[in-house]
A and B are shown apart, each in its own frame.
Chain A
Amino acid sequence: MGAQQALRWFAPAVLGFLALAAWEWVVWAREIPPYILPGPVQIAQTLARDWDSLSVSLLVTVQITFAALAVAASLGLLLAILFAQSRVIEMSLFPYAVVLQVTPIVAIAPLIIIWVDDVRAALLICAWIVAFFPILSNTTVGLQSTDRNLLDLFRLYGASRWQVLWRLKLPSAMPYFLAGLRISGGLALIGAIVAEFVAGTGGTASGLAYRILESGYQLQIPRMFAALVLVSGTGIAIFMALSLLSHLLLRRWHESADTGEHR
């Protein structure tokens, strides 16, 4: 168990280190100029040197991502609950949620940026559109897949609609909601970045995507990579945080969080 756990961290770490070393070596041996491909050491140095400006951009992107995720999670959950209460509402609204999902964000982002004066708000809306659907559709499925016999049992004991929702349907839907949230966490970040790319230099919000664009124009490729590292790092951190949240909430009862101690 302990050795297995160690291997899970150790193996990818070794692989990552070897890849970075090989990258550094190729850049050094073939004398590739930094404006084509900087080595990892130089990227790390740039990250440290420009940390002041980059961290401000990181904060902006993280704020937009989390705000979008929070809105997507609460609205998605509320709408899914509404769907579970009324079949008519679900049938009328769900197709539009699908439309929202299948329309490429790159295509509608310019419109949103034109319509919404505040750039941050525009970015938030774009990130929200991308992050919204997985939560809505997962939670809807979750609310519908409540055990039929348990529903009968609640009916037998005269449970109110509210009791059925709160004590039965929502806990049943929890694993589905959390799976949706995990997908949406990454999507919210992508939405925020993509929207900022579309907003381009007009952006006064200056998140990480803006830094990447700006560095590209100025041919400061190491800085571009540094910003990219931060984007990836943020995505990984969000995924891990949401996985941890999901594990903590489900570990005692759900199969997906089975740690092997019960069987």
Chain B
Amino acid sequence: MAKRYGTGTLAVQDVNMDLARGDFLALLGPSGCGKSTLLRMIAGLIPSSSGEIAFPADPEARRGIGFVFQEPTLMPWATAARNVALPLELAGMPKREAHARAVEMLARVELAGFEDAYPRALSGGMKMRVSIARALVTKPRLLLMDEPFAALDEITRFRLNNDLLNLWRDERFTVVFVTHSVFESVFLAERIMVMAPRPGRVVRELRVPAEDHDTPEFRTSASYAAHCREVSHALAAAMEVA
């Protein structure tokens, strides 16, 4: 999957990125650097002022984009299963089949048994799991996440980080993950694009090799700390340029 970009708006300027299938890319930057705008343009929710997003000719590639918002963004009047089934039902899948797929997906995000729970009965972390299940139920090629764990406590966030990585390793969808946390970006992503504000632009791209991610207890390893330091420096440099 390839994507090229370039917009002349104030929010985001001259951004070019190529995404390969199975990439886990983090967009890292301070508030107001156009990360979310960029993500919404990729999703097609807002038009780009100039430039384009190119998908490969393969028609399957356009099949699905999953989007996870900063808030769980669930329909409060619908059960967890019905929330997850929504994208399938909107696409015209028969209700029973959509429900079965939703139940299956809820089990994959460790919410088996909560199919009939309404969102208000769920904790913040559980709601976010439902939201992720909804984004993944269509088996998208591309998962876009807009600071999905920013509002959660650290313990819940770590667990969801791990679970997201497991899902990604199993299914190998492409992820673009917006965050303002250096630590989260290093833990999750293989590619980190550091962005600077006014106007929003990409100033540097760093890599965290897959073999480093495979370090046992990566989160407390020396390799993790080294990467965090490197990314922090890049971010500080980006802020200075701005």
Contacts and interface: CB of A to CB of B under 8 A. Distances in A.
B44 interface: yes
Contact of B120 (A147, A150, A174, A262): A262
Contact of A171 (B67, B75, B90, B91): B75
B190 interface: no
Interface in B93-126: 118-121
Contact of B86 (A157, A254, A255): A157
A155 B67 CA distance: 11
Interface in A13-48: none
A155 B45 contact: yes
Contacts of B71: 149
Contact of B69 (A149, A155, A157): A149
A150 B120 CA distance: 16
Contacts of A149: 69, 71, 73
Most chain-B CB neighbours within 10 Å: which of A147, A153, A158, A159? A153
Q: Interface centre among A157, A159, A171, A252, by most B CB within 10 Å?
A: A157
A158 B91 contact: yes
A254 B69 contact: no
Contact of B45 (A147, A156, A159, A174): A156
Nearest to B131: A153
Given A158-B91, A262-B121, A150 B73 contact: yes
A50 interface: no
Contact of B90 (A150, A152, A163, A253): A163
B30 interface: no
A156 B65 CA distance: 8
B76 interface: yes
A154 B90 contact: yes
A153 B73 contact: yes
Interface in A178-200: none
A249 to B, nearest CB: 9
B178 to A, nearest CB: 14
A156 B75 contact: no
A70 interface: no
B87 interface: yes
Contacts of B87: 157
A171 B77 contact: yes
Nearest to A163: B90
B120 A253 contact: yes
Contacts of B119: 253
B43 interface: yes
A71 interface: no
B90 A157 contact: yes
Interface string B14-58: 000000000000000000000000001001110000000000000
A153 B43 CA distance: 10
Contact of B44 (A156, A163, A253, A262): A156
A113 to B, nearest CB: 43
B75 A150 contact: yes
A168 interface: yes
A253 B76 contact: yes
B170 to A, nearest CB: 23
A153 B76 CA distance: 14
Nearest to A152: B45
22 contacts: A147-B73, A149-B69, A150-B73, A150-B75, A152-B45, A152-B67, A152-B69, A153-B69, A156-B43, A156-B67, A157-B86, A157-B90, A158-B90, A163-B90, A167-B86, A171-B75, A253-B76, A253-B77, A253-B120, A254-B77, A262-B120, A262-B121
Give the top 10 A-B pairs by smallest Cβ distance, nearest first.
Answer: A149-B73, A157-B90, A171-B77, A253-B77, A253-B76, A157-B87, A149-B69, A253-B118, A159-B90, A262-B121
Given A150-B73, A150-B75, 12 more contacts: A149-B73, A152-B45, A156-B43, A156-B65, A156-B67, A157-B138, A158-B90, A167-B90, A171-B78, A252-B77, A253-B76, A253-B119
